[in-house]
Amino acid sequence: MRILHTSDWHIGRTFHGSSTVDALAEVLDALVAQVREKAVDVVIVAGDVFDSATPSGAAYTLLSDTLLALHETGARVIVTSGNHDSAARLGFQARLLRDGIHVLTDPLAIGTPVTVTDADGPVHFYGIPYLEPAIVRQHFPEVPLRTQAQTMAHAMQLVREAMAANPGRSVAIAHCFAAGVEATAGLEREVRQGGLDMVPLDVFDGPDYVALGHIHGRQRLSERVRYAGAPLHYSFGEQDKPRGSWLIDLGPEGLTNVEWLALPVPRRLVTLTGTLDEILSADNVEQHSAHWVCAIYTDAVPQIEPMRRLRERYPYCAMVQHQPAVGEEPGSRTYSQRLRAAVTDTERIEAFLEHVRAGQGPTERERELIREVLDDRVRSEALV
């Protein structure tokens, strides 16, 4: 049996204020084409189908169009809910969906598989929706569920019990943060290392394959436990991460092959670092004018209207940051110390400029202007 593992579509998410719906539609069209070309039997979407618990009409339209297109390839589709989804909204039409499309959002149905049969026998798919301990513990009062690790461990125990009662090959689908993920994998925007409720890898023992969602970067935790990541780049921190999905082959005895299928990137993301003039150089513009750009300019002082100047050359400049290359040397006086030591108004102004310009004081021309302004003030006060 051939399975395509994808996740984290985040339909409806914006990128620095710009809609991603059209770009995602282009990528999902390519995914549907891959499903058709590779003769995929089952497509798994491991959570975070929507980016919001209250999706827009356009988001529902894109999901419906994509599910219909996948169904028309002849593949079965199995969708689970993630932490961004409203399980109720995602699953409200589950009973109305045509044969071959399954939306699994009910924690009480974890042990009830979707079974797909091929020439080698049945394959049982166990969908585990995103499980928030505070919400789902009411369904399992006999089990202490205070952390997601405990909750996922209980869910996987339900899966293993169901596997014992349903002989055959098996696939589990879950949405969580599993131990062993690289720190640079492309974590979700609200996920941070340190104090994070991680699920130990051995919790996923049992099934022939475990399709995970929640991490936006491709990850191989073991041969049989993987993240597919998101199909689009949703932040500049993800810009170098490949986009795609896993193509899984199950033989009579279980997992036989795993292949990465790359997806197109509609608009590349780049981070350009240097002085503002360097970033605006002809060579840079020629290479990156069609890309999403994060500009980090290193001029010692803030530049006037940097975003306006950048967008004249880079229409898709999304971010601009000022990170001066020259900073105050260790041991240098603080602003308050310099201010207390200043005797004249000129020295106070110079201390202020050094403070706001990363240690760079006034230029000679600026000193002339400061003297002129102060002299004018003195003459005005003398006439009063």
**Distance in angstroms (rounded) separating the CA atoms of residues 152 and 201:** 11
- Confidence band, pLDDT 50/70/90 cuts, at residue 192: very low
Contact 293/325 with Cβ under 8 angstroms? no
CATH 3.60.21.10 in the chain, residue ranges: 2-262
124-149 pLDDT, tens digit per residue, is: 999 999 888 887 888 888 888 888 88
72-102 pLDDT, tens digit per residue, is: 999 999 999 988 876 666 655 554 456 789 9
Contact 306/280 with Cβ under 8 angstroms? no
- Among 273, 218, 213, smallest CA distance to 241 is for 218
* CATH T-level topology, domain 2-262: Purple Acid Phosphatase; chain A, domain 2 (3.60.21)
Report the chain's mean pLDDT, rounded to a whole number: 87
**Distance in angstroms (rounded) separating the CA atoms of residues 83 and 86:** 8
Contact 209/250 with Cβ under 8 angstroms? yes
Give the type of residue at 342: A
346-357 pLDDT, tens digit per residue, is: 888 888 877 776
What are the beta bridge partners of residue 115? 124
pLDDT at 141: 80
pLDDT at 301: 84
Q: Is 0.85 surpassed by the pTM of this model? A: no
